[in-house]
Chains A and B, each alone.
Chain A
Amino acid sequence: MTVLDILKYPDESLKQISQPVESFDDELCAFLLDLEETMRAGPGGVGIAAAQVGNFSRIAIVDVSSKPKIKHNGCLILINPEIKTWEGMKIGREGCMSVPDYTGNVIRAEKITLQAYNTEGELCDYKCEGYEARAVQHELDHLDGLLFLDRLVSRRTDLFKRKKYK
């Protein structure tokens, strides 16, 4: 396995739209292993899109299982993913391996359902919420050439809508 180089904005190729995966073959499996390795090599990285390593195929990996006390689906390998439903809205802080030294507030759906193909080419349904749903939406944005910078909101936006700490 290889840790791949991460494209960093202002590299304009991050703004292009990724194309669907058509063959579920050994080459794809090898790439997925490298992509996962690259995600885990990044400090605190809980997700990655193929576009971030210059492969403009509709592939993302999300694994938030290292975070304590949250609901998750384990390691999600998402090929040709499509979000089917969105529910609720929440502001949260995001950063990106492709945008070092910056974090900002972004509004995302609190709960989503999505469909994606797995490594074997089977279509799977997933339900995600909270932190995991945020990570999935962030990565799927990369497949459409969007960065979290395209969705930043002011720090003041959520003044009275915040969840209680306990």
Chain B
Amino acid sequence: MSEWKMLTLVGQDKPGIVAKITTALFEAGSQLGEASMMRLGGNFTIMLMVKSELSVEQLNQSIESVVEEMQLTSSFQRIEASLHQHEIPDTRITVYGADRPGIVAKATTGLLEAGFNIMDLESDVAGDEAEPIYIIHIEGVAANGSEALEQAMEQIKINGVHVDVTPIDVMIG
């Protein structure tokens, strides 16, 4: 069985969350892998690969005092994972427009139907409270090519949603 676990953690953002959690994990003999950590709506969120021979229960105990002190919510789960398996995205898509219900569902369903695999998605609500705008930034692989993708995105452009599809041409030097 894989020794990798995924730590999911969230809590009101304050200085010290990353340093204290990773120190506790280090002191428990854990090794860290890939991670995504981000502030979302005033919360700090962590998705972190942790390699350890400890059980999920023992890992929970290793960060328990930090979790309590900093009023965080966390959980570990066993995952099948390995490092050095980066896929290179070939397409970058930006979708933005006036915020409205269903914008993400519609865009991502269109992408799915066009054979697009999302590897990375970041979205923000910007603008102001009266007129919020929604911005989605996606990277992934267009398995069926860019033409299918462009056609799918034409459907999303209706109603003033703006879509940019850009190939990612990686320069290896």
Q: Are A156 and B164 in contact (CB under 8 A)?
A: no
Q: A101-B84, A103-B88, A156-B137 are in contact. Are A46 and B173 (CB under 8 A)?
A: yes
Give me the interface of B with A, judged by CB distance under 8 Å.
84-86, 88, 92, 94, 120, 122, 135, 137, 139, 146, 150, 164-173
Give the contacting residue for A95; candidates B139, B146, B164, B170; CB below 8 A.
B170
**6 more A-B residue pairs beyond the given contacts A44-B170, A44-B172, A95-B171, with a C-beta to C-beta distance below 8 A:** A43-B172, A45-B173, A95-B172, A131-B171, A155-B137, A155-B139
Q: Are A162 and B171 in contact (CB under 8 A)?
A: no
How many angstroms between the C-alpha atoms of A102 and B169 in the bound complex? 14
How many angstroms between the C-alpha atoms of A101 and B88 in the bound complex? 9
How many angstroms between the C-alpha atoms of A6 and B151 in the bound complex? 42
Q: Are B164 and A94 in contact (CB under 8 A)?
A: no
List chain A residues, Cβ under 8 A from B122: 155-156
Q: Are B146 and A165 in contact (CB under 8 A)?
A: yes
How many angstroms between the C-alpha atoms of A94 and B170 in the bound complex? 5
List chain A residues, Cβ under 8 A from B139: 155
Q: Taking the nearest CB of chain B, how far is it from the CB of A109, in angstroms?
A: 14
Main SS of the interface on chain B?
strand
Give me the interface of A with B, judged by CB distance under 8 Å.
42-49, 62, 67, 92-97, 100-103, 131, 134-135, 138-139, 148, 155-156, 159-160, 162-166
Give the contacting residue for B172; candidates A46, A155, A162; CB below 8 A.
A46
Main SS of the interface on chain A?
mixed
Q: A102-B86, A156-B122, A165-B146 are in contact. Are A138 and B164 (CB under 8 A)?
A: no
Q: Are B164 and A96 in contact (CB under 8 A)?
A: no
Q: Are B173 and A96 in contact (CB under 8 A)?
A: yes
Q: Are B171 and A92 in contact (CB under 8 A)?
A: yes
Q: B85, B92, B146: which has the most chain A beta carbons within 10 Å?
A: B92
Q: Are A93 and B164 in contact (CB under 8 A)?
A: no
Give me 9 A-to-B residue pairs in the complex whose CB atoms sit less than 8 angstroms apart, sorted by A's number: A92-B169, A93-B168, A93-B171, A94-B173, A97-B172, A102-B86, A139-B173, A155-B120, A163-B166
Q: Which 10 A-B pairs have the closest CB atoms?
A: A47-B173, A138-B173, A95-B172, A44-B172, A93-B170, A165-B165, A101-B84, A93-B168, A94-B171, A162-B166
List chain A residues, Cβ under 8 A from B150: 165-166
List chain B residues, Cβ under 8 A from A159: 94, 135, 137
List the A residue with the shortest CB-CB distance to B86.
A101
List chain B residues, Cβ under 8 A from A96: 172-173
Q: Taking the nearest CB of chain A, how far is it from the CB of B72, in angstroms?
A: 25
List chain B residues, Cβ under 8 A from A43: 172
Q: Are A162 and B92 in contact (CB under 8 A)?
A: yes
How many angstroms between the C-alpha atoms of A94 and B171 in the bound complex? 5
How many angstroms between the C-alpha atoms of A42 and B173 in the bound complex? 9
Q: Are A95 and B88 in contact (CB under 8 A)?
A: yes
Q: Are B164 and A165 in contact (CB under 8 A)?
A: yes
List the B residue with the shortest CB-CB distance to A138.
B173
List chain A residues, Cβ under 8 A from B135: 159
How many angstroms between the C-alpha atoms of A43 and B173 in the bound complex? 10
How many angstroms between the C-alpha atoms of A76 and B129 in the bound complex? 54
List chain A residues, Cβ under 8 A from B169: 67, 92-93, 131
